[in-house]
Amino acid sequence: QQPVQSPQAVILREGEDAVINCSSSKALYSVHWYRQKHGEAPVFLMILLKGGEQKGHEKISASFNEKKQQSSLYLTASQLSYSGTYFCGTEIAGNQFYFGTGTSLTVIP
């Protein structure tokens, strides 16, 4: 029931764009996205609810395709501060919630 993220790891140069995908085998009620920097607690980025909406947070945005049970996180014009591990979190029936497998993102100068 753990959603699968792809890619597992990505290295970007500053200014490049990236897309992180999150795919679930279960019907989704909502999708959360988090970023965790090394040695710190995860930080909530955004939540997407059923309805296929797209949300933005600074230069980071996300989409939610309810029918495909997928969400994608878009990072544009990446900055060094974007480095970290990104997790999706999916809410399924019965108030159950699962973290994704994680994507390590490294931005280099």
Partner 1 sequence: EPEVTQTPSHQVTQMGQEVILRCVPISNHLYFYWYRQILGQKVEFLVSFYNNEISEKSEIFDDQFSVERPDGSNFTLKIRSTKLEDSAMYFCASGYSPGPRDFGPGTRLTVT
Where does this chain bind partner 1 (CB under 8 A)? Answer: 29-30, 32, 36, 40-44, 47, 85, 87, 89, 91, 95-99, 101-102
Three-class DSSP labels, 29-63: CEEEEEEECCCCCCEEEEEEECCCCEEEECCEEEE
| 74 versus 99: smaller Cβ distance to partner 1 | 99
CB of 18 to partner 1, least distance (A): 20
| 76 versus 106: smaller Cβ distance to partner 1 | 106
- C-alpha pair distances (Å), 102 with each of 15, 51, 94, 95, 97: 22, 24, 23, 21, 15
| 12 versus 32: smaller Cβ distance to partner 1 | 32
Query: In the numeric block, which tokens belong to residue 66?
Result: 């309810």
CB of 56 to partner 1, least distance (A): 18
